[in-house]
Structure 1
Amino acid sequence: MKLGFREGILYDDRRLDWDAAGPRPVRWSLWYPAADNAQECEIQERSWFRKAAVARDAPIRPSDRPYPLVLLSHGTGGSAAGLEWLARRLVDRGFAALGVDHHGNTGSEPYRAEGFACLWERAPDLSLMLDRCRDWLGHFAGRIDADRVFAVGFSAGAYSVMLLLGAVTQFSQFERSRLKPGGPRGPREFPDLADHIPSLLRTSDVFRESWFRMSRSYRDDRITAAVLCAPGRSVLSFGADSLKAVVAPSLILVGDADKAAPAEECSCWLHERLTRSALKIFGGGLGHYVFVPEGTGLGMAFAAELFTDPPGIERGAVHDEIAALSAALFHDGDGGAIGRTKKAPFPGL
C-alpha cells in the first residue's frame, strides 16, 4: 500500500507556550493510505532514523469505510518521527496514524525543563487534535474516523496515553520529596531536571499554572483502546483509584532487559492495577530502545546504544510483531480478547 504523509502545526489557545509568548504549538504528522497512483519519494533529510518513502500530500486511497485513526505519543525528548516505523505498518493494515511533537519535550525544538517536568501537558496535545480535527483533516473529512480513536504511546508517551484513559497523576517523580539519595535527578535526555523545578516555580507563571494542573483528569472517552510500549517510571505516580476506573482495554508491551523502565517495576506494576489489560514481555534481551526506529549510519555514529540489539534480534521483525498485536487489539474493537473484568498475562489477540 502506498504511504501518504502530511504535516502541519496547530496552536492551543487554552494554553501558553513555555515562554508565555503565544499559544502552545502542537506540530503534527499524519500517515495514511495513499491513492494507488500516488508517487512515493525517498525522504532526503539527514536523520538518525530509517524512514520509508512517502507520497507527500497525496490523495487518500478510496475506501468503503473511513480509516480508523491511531494517535501516537513519542517518548520523552523524542518526536512523532520516532514512531514512523509503527505508523507505516498500521497504514499497511488499514489505519491512519497521527503523531504529535510535545512542546518543550521534543527533539524537533530546543529542550525545555518545563516540558520534561510537566509531562501531563502532553495528553491535551492529543485531545486537541481530536477537538480540532477539521483543521488538519481538510478534504480528508469523512475518509478518516476521528470519532472512534485508538492510541499508542512509547515510554513517556505511554504515560500520556494512560492520562487519556483516565489515570490521574498524584505527584511528579522529580519533585524534591520524591528523589532518592544518589538516584536519578532527571531522565537520560535531561539529567539535572529536578534542579530546575524550584526556580521555575518561583519565576515562571506558565510553569506554576501547569504544575497546579498536575492532578487534573485528562480523560478522553474518544480513546477506545490503547497500546502502551515500555511505560516508564512516570506511571508510578498514578493514583490507584483512577487506575481502577480505567475501562478501555490496553496492551502493555516491554522488553525483558529494559533498564530504563524495568518490566517488573513499571509494566507489571501497571498491569496489576488495571482491570482490562494484557501484558507481553518480549524475551531475548530486548531493551527500552527496541521501540525506536532502526538506525541509519548517522544514528549509529552518534547514538549506537539506541539502535543496537542483542545478537540474533532483528528490530524490524520485532516491529512487525508489535504492529500486528496493535492492529489485532484495535480491530477487535471493544477489547474483548483482553476481557472485560479480568487482568490477562497476554492471552494472544
Structure 2
Amino acid sequence: MKLGFRDGVLYDEERPNWDAGGPRPISWSLWYPATDDARESDFPERSWFKKVAVARDAPIQPAAGPYPLVLLSHGTGGSAAGLEWLARRLARRGFAALGVNHHGNTGGEPYRAEGFACLWERAPDLSHMLDRCDEWLGDFRGHIDMSRVFAAGFSAGAYSVMLLLGAVVRFSQFEPARLKPGGPRGPREFPDLADHIPALLRSSDAFRDSWSRMSKPYRDDRIKAALLCAPGRSVLGFSEESLKAVEAPALILVGDADGAAPAEECSSWLHARLSRSTLKIFEGGLGHYVFMPEGTGLGFAFAAELFTDPPGIARAAIHEEIADLSAALFEKARIGAIT
C-alpha cells in the first residue's frame, strides 16, 4: 500500500487565537491509503522523528466502502507529526487518520501559556474538523466515512479525547489554588505555567473567556470508540460523575515504568471510573515516551530521553501492537459488535 498525505489549515471563527487578533487556527494532517501508482517521497525537512515516505496529495485508493476515520490528538507541546507512527499504521490497516496541531500547545508554533493552561480548548479543535469536513475532504468525499468516527490521543491528547467522550472538567491541573507546596508548577515543556495564570486572568480577555468555559461539556457523539495512550494527571480534574456516564468504549494503554503519568495514579484511576474501558499495562520497564515516534540521530542528539527505551525493547514492535489493538477496537465499534 502507498501512503497518501495531505495537510492544511482551518480556522474556527467562533474562537479567537490567543492574541485575539483573528480566529483560532487548526493545522491538520491527513494520512490515508493512496493508489498503487502514487509516487512516494521523503519529507524534505529535518526532524527529530523517523517518518516514512508519503505520496503528497495523491489520489485515495478506491475501496469497497469508505475508510473509517480516526482523529488524532498529540501530547502537550507536541504536534500531529508525533503521531505519524500510529497514523501510517492505521492507514495500512484500512483507516484514514486525521491529526491536528492544538494552537498554543504545539511545537508547530511558539508555546503559549494559555494553550498549556486551557487544555479543554483542544476538544473543540477536533469537533471543528468534523463540522467543517467539506473543507478538507475535497475529492475524498464519499471515500472517508464521517458517520462513525474514532479518536486516539497520547498524554494530554488522551485528555482531549476523554472530553469528546463526555468527561467534564472540575479543575485545571496547574491552577494556583490547587498546587502542593514544592510540587510541579507546570508540565515538562512549560515548567512555570502556574505563575502565568493570575496575570493572564487580569490582562487577557481571550484567556478569561476560555477559563470560563473550563467546565463546559464537549461531548461529541460522533466519536464511537477511543484509544487513550498514557493519560496524564490532568485527567484527575474530571468529574467522576461525568466519567461514569461515558458510553463509548475506550482502550487505555500505558507503560509499567511511566514516571510522567504513573499507571496506578492515572490510567488505573481512569479505568476504574469508566464502565466500558479496557486497560493494558505494557511490561518491561516502558516509560511515557514509548508512545512517541522512533528518534532520528537529530532527535537523540537533542532529547535522547524521549527516544531511549530499555534494552531488548523495540519501539517499532510496540507501535505495531498498539496499531493492532486500536484497529481491532475501532473495527468492532464500526460493525456494531460493541453494544
Taking structure 1 as the reference length, what is the TM-score of the superposition? 0.96
The C-alpha deviation readout for 1:103-129, integer Å capped at 9, x for no partner, is 000000000000000000000000000
Preserved CA contact (<8 Å) 2:148 2:334: no
The C-alpha deviation readout for 1:136-176, integer Å capped at 9, x for no partner, is 00010000012210000000000000000000000011111
For 1:45, the equivalent position in structure 2 comes to 45
For 2:272, the equivalent position in structure 1 comes to 272
- Hey, what's the Cα distance between the residues in 1 that align with 2:45 and 2:316? 21
For 2:257, the equivalent position in structure 1 comes to 257
For 1:346, the equivalent position in structure 2 comes to none
Give the partner amino acid of 1:4: G
For 1:6, the equivalent position in structure 2 comes to 6
User: How many angstroms does 1:177 deviate by?
Assistant: 1.6
- Hey, what's the Cα distance between the residues in 1 that align with 2:179 and 2:310? 32
Give the partner amino acid of 1:48: W
RMSD over aligned Cα, in angstroms? 1.0
Secondary structure of the structure 2 residue equivalent to 1:174:
coil
User: What is the correspondence of 1:129-148 to structure 2 with a 5 Å cutoff?
Assistant: 129-148=129-148
User: How many angstroms does 1:335 deviate by?
Assistant: 9.2
Could you tell me which runs of 5 or more consecutive residues in structure 1 were left unpaired when the two chains were aligned: 341-349
- Hey, what's the Cα distance between the residues in 2 that align with 1:159 and 1:95? 23
Give the partner amino acid of 2:100: V
2:131 is aligned with 1:158: no
For 2:202, the equivalent position in structure 1 comes to 202
2:124 is aligned with 1:124: yes
Structure 1 residues 178 and 335, CA, compared in 2 at 3 Å: closer, same or farther?
farther
The size of the alignment, in residue pairs, is: 339
User: How many angstroms does 1:336 deviate by?
Assistant: 7.7
For 1:344, the equivalent position in structure 2 comes to none
Could you tell me which runs of 5 or more consecutive residues in structure 2 were left unpaired when the two chains were aligned: none
For 1:291, the equivalent position in structure 2 comes to 291
- Hey, what's the Cα distance between the residues in 1 that align with 2:335 and 2:104? 34
- Hey, what's the Cα distance between the residues in 2 that align with 1:60 and 1:127? 23
- Hey, what's the Cα distance between the residues in 2 that align with 1:91 and 1:335? 18
Taking structure 2 as the reference length, what is the TM-score of the superposition? 0.99
User: What is the correspondence of 1:76-91 to structure 2 with a 5 Å cutoff?
Assistant: 76-91=76-91
Secondary structure of the structure 1 residue equivalent to 2:110:
coil
For 1:23, the equivalent position in structure 2 comes to 23
For 1:345, the equivalent position in structure 2 comes to none
Secondary structure of the structure 1 residue equivalent to 2:72:
strand
User: How many angstroms does 1:334 deviate by?
Assistant: 6.2
Preserved CA contact (<8 Å) 1:186 1:192: yes
For 1:188, the equivalent position in structure 2 comes to 188
Give the partner amino acid of 1:72: L
Calculate percent identity across the aligned residue pairs: 78
Give the partner amino acid of 2:178: R
Secondary structure of the structure 1 residue equivalent to 2:265:
helix
TM superposition outliers: structure 1 runs of 4+ over 4 Å: 334-337
- Hey, what's the Cα distance between the residues in 2 that align with 1:290 and 1:336? 31
Give the partner amino acid of 1:251: L
Secondary structure of the structure 2 residue equivalent to 1:263:
coil
User: What is the correspondence of 1:203-282 to structure 2 with a 5 Å cutoff?
Assistant: 203-282=203-282
User: How many angstroms does 1:55 deviate by?
Assistant: 0.1
For 2:315, the equivalent position in structure 1 comes to 315
